[in-house]
């Protein structure tokens, strides 16, 4: 697997607090990587180190297999949780300024601004000041300013904060399109439903250490509890080697013994009722998150 970013044994202290404790992570190219953890876990510290806002006390960061240099920041787009737009500056001027800081010429920047603002139906905002915009509108502007320069690595810290459901869906779709275009994305969020929808891989950190790091599908499979859901017509009774956890009209949740196969369970069900739908119930990422943090 090729990686765009490798974090190797990174540690960072603030006074007596150890924010990162020999943390190692690899961010794959062309994927959406979820960076998860409770408040104070060390996520923001790690993001600030990647953006060279602060430096690690020890350890190294590699970008495309090279020592991470200041010049590489031109290839990174960073949407911070705490927004950083200038309230008294016009939206268009601000986007132009930020795009030029990331290396675009004035002409290139104007073309990109026009393309994105037209695409997201924001053209009539260009001459407005940021202070005239709602929180959601300002967030939309900041998202656009983060992607204008065609970054190779995009870091999004709580990107859906302040959005209504319609704009949340709009930005989710844009994030997926960016991934389709080969952009690598780090997504830091507390919205586990967004993690389920968007992320290919995740890392769960707490107290500056990595507790879990794998693909979303592998993590869900590794933490499954042999639970099966069935929707049916008829009357369902007891099973051999299976436990009925929950039952209501036309639905049952069943736990299988570890040495029993789904085919065995399905055959027993078919012998009793007409099966409309049958599937294994995998844990949600939210359930896995809570399990790990509560056992810390």
| pLDDT score at 50 | 95
Q: Contact, 28 vs 1, CB < 8 A?
A: yes
Paired residues of 58 in beta bridges = 11
Residue 80 exposure: Cα atoms within 13 Å on the Cβ side: 13
Domains of the chain as residue ranges with CATH: 3-220 (3.40.50.300), 225-280 (no CATH)
Q: Could you say which DSSP state residue 31 is in? A: S
Q: Cα(10)–Cα(197) distance, rounded to whole angstroms? A: 29
**pLDDT tens digits, 222-269:** 999 999 999 999 888 877 778 889 998 899 999 988 778 889 899 989
Closest of 284, 275, 281 to residue 227, by C-alpha? 281
Query: Residue 238 has what pLDDT?
Result: 77
Tokens of 273: 């009722």
Q: Are 76 and 152 in contact (CB under 8 A)?
A: yes
Per-residue pLDDT tens digits of the chain, which is 296 residues long: 799 999 999 999 998 899 999 999 999 999 999 999 999 899 999 999 999 999 999 999 999 999 999 899 999 999 988 777 888 899 999 999 999 999 999 999 999 999 999 999 999 999 999 899 888 889 999 999 999 999 999 999 999 988 899 999 999 999 999 999 999 999 999 999 999 999 999 999 999 999 999 999 999 999 999 999 999 998 888 777 788 899 988 999 999 887 788 898 999 899 999 999 999 999 999 999 998 888 76
Distance (Å, whole) CA 234 – CA 218: 35
């Amino acid at each position: 697997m090729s990686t765009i970013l490798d974090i190797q044994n990174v540690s960072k202290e603030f006074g007596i607090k150890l924010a990162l404790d020999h943390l190692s992570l690899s961010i794959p190219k062309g994927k959406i990587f979820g960076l998860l953890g409770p408040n104070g876990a060390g996520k923001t510290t790690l993001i600030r180190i990647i953006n060279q806002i602060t430096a690690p006390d020890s350890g190294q960061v590699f970008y495309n297999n090279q020592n991470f240099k200041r010049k590489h920041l031109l290839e990174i787009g960073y949407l911070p949780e705490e927004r950083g737009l200038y309230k008294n500056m016009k939206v268009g001027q601000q986007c132009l300024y930020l795009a030029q800081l990331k290396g675009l010429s004035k002409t290139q920047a104007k073309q990109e601004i026009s393309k994105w603002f037209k695409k997201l139906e924001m053209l009539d905002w260009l001459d407005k000041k940021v202070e005239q915009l709602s929180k959601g509108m300002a967030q939309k502007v900041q998202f656009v300013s983060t992607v204008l320069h065609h970054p190779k690595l995009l870091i999004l810290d709580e990107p859906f904060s302040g959005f209504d459901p319609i704009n949340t869906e709009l930005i989710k779709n844009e994030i997926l399109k960016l991934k389709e275009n080969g952009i690598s994305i780090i997504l830091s969020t507390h919205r586990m439903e967004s993690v389920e929808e968007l992320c290919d891989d995740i890392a769960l950190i707490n107290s500056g250490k990595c507790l879990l790091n794998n693909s979303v599908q592998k993590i869900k499979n590794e933490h499954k509890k042999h639970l099966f859901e069935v929707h049916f017509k008829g009357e369902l009774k007891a099973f051999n080697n299976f436990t009925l956890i929950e039952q209501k009209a036309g639905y049952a949740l069943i736990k299988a013994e570890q040495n029993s196969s789904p085919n065995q369970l399905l055959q027993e069900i078919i012998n009793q009722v007409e099966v409309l739908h049958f599937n294994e119930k995998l844990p949600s990422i939210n359930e896995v998150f809570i399990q790990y943090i509560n056992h810390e």
